[in-house]
Structure 1
């Protein structure tokens, strides 16, 4: 009997174990299912979020489509007639009548161009459109095509600014809706943006992407004194998009599409747009007066962080240890900065705000306007101080900040200058003020350190290192005390203005040919 009880006991225990195992497995499966169900629900929630984003795109498109326009431009002049692309060698030879290896371009003709724009003001039977200058430059006629199919054939260019590549076009019409400006200063890398326009003539197109970078200089504006401070985007921008709006998720214009970086002429992943805060200022000025008036300081500058190689020694010589700042390499005579700023100064703040790049300083000066005072914090003579400059009006053919490109002159040893204490006649002949003081350079020996540094006859040495120079004797003493191995900054003045050079012993440079 005992063996039977024992067997029954073992059977019960075994059955209980199996039941426990099955219950355990069931619980595990229940947990796994619950987790899977949770993942599916979360994924569906994410899809609803993506659906919300898609709906946002649709809403933005509907809010913008009435404001975006297509421009058809006719340009008449020499070499304007359009020719086919001469990728085919037979065609290339056929049109090469003068035998120079290139197809001949007709002297006179008519070219058709197109671009985009956005209506930023409307009312009282007229509307104002912002676009790119390069879209309407040299135009004989400008036609505007609205979203509803209307063609405005008598559009008028009321103002253009080649330095910013912006222009304003006016049309006489009603039943149009203006877009809203956004704040481009609030943009950050990674923000979603949408680009509107007519790529390759496909009117009413929209693409999307993100902000890839800010404050880009791309050297794409065809003007020697261009203001480039681009928003870089990866939203597809192609020929025909120029002048169209770049829009944020609030449906606000935060940029004007302008250019692409491409070797093929089509989009390659990098597009550039003018920030709305810059575009709005230019737009308002062009709309009101037909031109933009900018503030003017009159200095030659370089970024402390990345100066041209010839300036590196001069910056090192002044003893500035800050990470950010703008090095003043020269001051133009008769400019607002003359007698206020000096070569060798480092500008660290403007109106209490840190200045980290020449682009930021140029834009701030330009935006402030003529007649306004700006307070500059500068580093001079190893001390920080403040100065105030009343800005002038920027000349048409000049930027308020010309980047200096010093001459590359050969030289190897010796100071190599002949100095005199200038007379009144000397100062007049050199184009210097009658009260100027210093040591006047009469001769510069070729292949000398002075020649290599860019010192020229007619320069007036006014400061050597930390020593002010009033005459030849002061100059000789200061020059004799220089440490040529480390280099010494020398301030000179001439009829053009003031600048700073560095005298330093070094190898004889040679030019590559």
Structure 2
């Protein structure tokens, strides 16, 4: 018995020791985490009162503050089944397989690179980017990154600064209109970054960019703010919201989704894109402002989607075409011109084509981007007050904000007028326009059969109308203050205009309605 008791006692003691070791290890990690967290808070306090002249020391401290919050993201996506990418282009293929059928492509043998033979295999695509932990709740961390980094992911590997790899990441939501996405991870001892105020950023401010350029995890660069409120056309195909911070700190492939910070170690932007002819950094980088990103982050984290306010109008900048705005009697150089209001929308019956919006809830509105961003950030069903220039005077308009539909273009293309009866006619020669009967079968290709107004079928090259942006297929429904239902009425109304002062037209097309101001050269 005594021989058995000793080994048993040893096993019990060993088991207790192992359990104690596990508990001790966990306590050690918790203590290390607490020290790291306290050290970061202490460093943040130092940064708040730091002398900007001690740049090297500040850069080091910002790097220390941000390091635990920046992550690397490797994303796998299921690629559509189809042909493998060929290692050479069509010009090389034509040497071996000439274009005999005249379709501009080399005539490949059956099953060669067309998905119909040995190339028809499923594949998986992989990409990499960056992200930043912006919120921690218990054992969950919430990472903000780009939609083009995490959108459509079937599998994600998230690597933290301390080397931990996490594969249980959950994509909570994406927003193509701002190119942002939010990922949730289940992991203890996470340290979030701190939000900064992008609205106080100015040209010349120092900024730092963090991320994983070309896979080099934990990289940081610095530069200055080159410009604010940039519209780069990157999200135009998604009816996106662009008011980028332009920076000159190096941003390269792999930096996408990483944070842009100020010298206090606060996140003032999310690195998103570069302007480059080579695919690498060429001196111009773009980041989404933190105040815009924060709103989207909270919506995606809480709802999985972004709910935006909406008016239901087509609008343009006053500053981009001052003569057009002045044709309404408007004397200012800032504001937003209402080009069209859509049926069954919040603006219908409240705003009118030709209105110029100058204020929203008592705050000035300078341009389209500013108005769109402000309205989008207002909760649906909220009531706003607009200051509007209409019919030669300013008036106040109360309007209830609606919820923005997913497809804005679908709303615009539903607008139509009915039952025209027109004859072919010409505008004054100086304008270079010719109209046709809207019922003409040849106009079916424009999708304009059944429209009221004068349908433009010819625009003389280099004419004032062409320079003003009138295109074949446009429909003119108003000349100055006169509504026209057909080409004859449009031609008659145009002949009465003093073209030396220019003429304002209201034009509709498949893309919606707009005002066009035509100036005649050689007044």
The alignment's TM-score, normalised by the length of structure 2, stands at 0.70
> Among residues 216, 224, 231, which one is paired with 1:217 in the alignment?
231
Residue 245 in structure 1 maps to residue 259 in structure 2 = yes
- Superposed CA offset, 1:111-142 (max 9, x none): 11000000011132111000000001221111
Query: 1:74: which partner in 2?
Result: 76
Question: In structure 1, what is the Cα distance between the partners aligned to 2:508 and 2:210?
Answer: 52
Cα displacement string for residues 61-82 of structure 1 (whole angstroms, at most 9, x for unaligned residues): 1111110000000011227999
Q: Describe the SS at the equivalent of 2:214.
A: helix
CA distance in 1, matches of 2:258, 2:477: 52
Query: In 1, distance between residues paired with 2:221 and 2:152?
Result: 29
Q: Match for 1:169 among 180, 183, 192?
A: 183
Q: Residue by residue, what CA displacement relative to the aligned partner does 1:355-391 show, whole Å, maximum 9, x if unpaired?
A: 1121111101101121112211111112111212111
Mean Cα deviation higher: 229-238 or 94-103:
94-103
Q: Determine the structure 2 residue equivalent to 1:16.
A: none
Give the structure 2 partner of residue 149 of structure 1.
163
Q: Give the deviation of 1:314 after TM superposition.
A: 3.8
Larger Rg: 1
Partner of residue 151, structure 2? 137
1:412 aligns with 2:414: no
What corresponds to 1:370 in structure 2? 380
In the alignment, the residues of structure 2 paired with residue 98 and residue 242 of structure 1 have an alpha-carbon distance, to the nearest angstrom, of: 41
Q: Partner of 2:407 in structure 1?
A: 397
Which residue in the other structure is 1:60 paired with?
A: 62
Correspondence for 1:229 among 236, 243, 258: 243
Deviation, 1:483, is: 3.4
Residue 54 of structure 2 aligns to a residue whose secondary structure is helix
Q: Using a 3 Å threshold, how does the CA distance of structure 1 residues 80 and 253 change in structure 2: closer, same or farther?
A: farther
* CA deviation vs aligned residue, 1:176-229 (integer Å, no higher than 9, x gap): 100100000010101111100000000011111111110001122374301111
Contact 1:73 1:113 survives alignment (8 Å): yes
| TM-score, normalization by structure 1 | 0.71
In the alignment, is residue 328 of structure 1 matched against residue 330 of structure 2?
no
Q: Report what 2:501 is aligned to.
A: 486
- Aligned position for 1:288: 302
After TM superposition, give the deviation of residue 412 of structure 1 in Å: 3.5
Q: Which moved more, 1:273-282 or 1:73-82?
A: 73-82
Q: In the TM superposition, what is the alpha-carbon distance from 1:276 to its structure 2 partner? A: 0.2
Q: Does 1:179 align with 2:201?
A: no
Structure-1 residue corresponding to 2:329: 319
**SS of residue paired to 2:408:** coil
**Map of 2:420 onto structure 1:** none
Say if 2:457 and 2:473, in contact at 8 Å, map to a contact too.
Answer: no
| Residues 332 and 497 in structure 1, CA contact (< 8 A), matched pair in contact too | no
Listed as ranges, the gaps of 5+ residues in structure 2 are 1-49, 99-104, 414-423, 438-447
Aligned pair in 2 of structure 1 residues 162, 203: CA closer, same or farther (>3 Å)?
same
Alpha carbons of structure 1 residues 94 and 173: separation in structure 2 relative to 1, 3 Å: farther
The aligned residue for residue 29 of structure 2 is none
Paired residue secondary structure (1:348): strand
What are the equivalent positions in structure 2 for 1:451-490 lying under 5 Å apart?
A: 465=481, 482-489=497-504
Cα 1:71/1:384, change in 2 over 3 Å: same
What is the Cα deviation at residue 93 of structure 1?
A: 4.8
SS of the residue 1:306 aligns to: helix
- Conserved 8 A contact 1:194-1:208: yes
Question: SS of the counterpart of 2:229?
Answer: strand
In the TM superposition, residue 319 of structure 1 has moved relative to its aligned partner by 2.3
Q: Which moved more, 1:63-72 or 1:102-111?
A: 102-111
Task: Decide whether aligned partners of structure 1 residues 153 and 133 sit closer, same or farther in structure 2, where only a CA change above 3 A counts.
Answer: same
SS at match of 1:185: helix
Work out the CA distance in 2 between the residues paired with 1:177 and 1:221. Answer: 31
Aligned residues, how many?
425
Change over 3 Å in CA distance of 1:504–1:113 after alignment to 2: closer
Which SS does the other structure have where 2:320 is aligned? coil
Task: Name the residue aligned to 1:270.
Answer: 284
Matches of 1:239 and 1:355, distance apart in 2: 35
| Between 371-380 and 245-254, the greater mean CA deviation after superposition | 371-380
Q: Is the 8 A contact 2:385 2:399 kept in 1?
A: yes
CA distance in 2, matches of 1:50, 1:127: 32
Q: Which moved more, 1:96-105 or 1:160-169?
A: 96-105
- Measured in 2, the distance between the counterparts of 1:259 and 1:410 equals 49
State how far apart, in whole Å, the 2-side matches of 1:134 and 1:479 are: 49
Distance 1:316 1:228 in 2: 28
- Counterparts in 2 of 1:82 and 1:52: CA distance versus 1, 3 Å: farther
What do you get for the CA RMSD once the two structures are aligned?
4.4
Gaps of 5+ in 1: 1-47, 404-408, 420-429, 433-439, 508-513
Measured in 1, the distance between the counterparts of 2:454 and 2:409 equals 32
1:443-490 CA-to-partner distances (Å, cap 9, x unmatched) read 7696699x99789999876x953x899xxxx99998886435434546
CA shift at 1:290, angstroms? 0.1
Please report how far the alpha carbon of residue 263 of structure 1 lies from its aligned counterpart in structure 2 after TM superposition: 0.5
Q: CA deviation at 1:410?
A: 10
Q: Following the alignment from structure 2 to structure 1, what is the Cα–Cα distance between the partners of residues 425 and 144?
A: 50
